[in-house]
Amino acid sequence: MNGSNDRLEFLRKVYHDNLIPVPSKFKKHGYRKPSRRHKSSRQLIADESKRISSILQNPNIQVKPVPKVTYFNVNAPPSIRPSKKYCDITGLKGYYKSPVNNIRYHNSEIYQLIVKPMTPGVDQEYLKLRGDNFVLK
């Protein structure tokens, strides 16, 4: 019984010795985790409705009627993520791009069998599917 009290006193002493009376210099006292970067669609619609109603209530501004705000007519900011690139032959992730004809391919086997021996007209057809072809005039 006496041994457990000694251990408890020791742990209390260590705990009090390790307390830091001043705030840490690495974390500010009023620190909060940053809020979300983008608003949800419901918040976007509510904000847009408030903005439109405030414009319509102002008697000095003459504006034409504004349609109701829905999920389909709220404009979102452009994505900051890079677009995904897919293989023009298989549709899998396109890890590589041919330096000769700009065809994206998944692995070296596809390059050796299909992309490397491809004729110039065929590669333009693959690029046309992706919308990356060029027309010489």
Model pLDDT for residues 128-137, shown as the tens digit of each residue? 888 887 776 6
**6 domain-assigned:** no
Amino acid 74: pLDDT: 67
Tell which of 26, 58, 77 closes a domain.
77
pLDDT in tens, 87-116: 999 999 999 999 888 899 999 999 999 988
pTM: 0.44
Amino acid 9: pLDDT: 85
pLDDT in tens, 26-47: 666 677 777 767 778 888 888 8
Mean pLDDT within 69-80: 71
**16 domain-assigned:** no
Out of 1-5, 45-49, 58-62, 97-101, the most confident range is 97-101
Q: What is the total count of domains within the chain? A: 2
Domain, as residue range, for 88: 79-137
Identify whether residues 92 and 103 lie together within a single domain: yes
Amino acid 45: pLDDT: 83
Q: Which two tokens stand for residue 11?
A: 């742990």
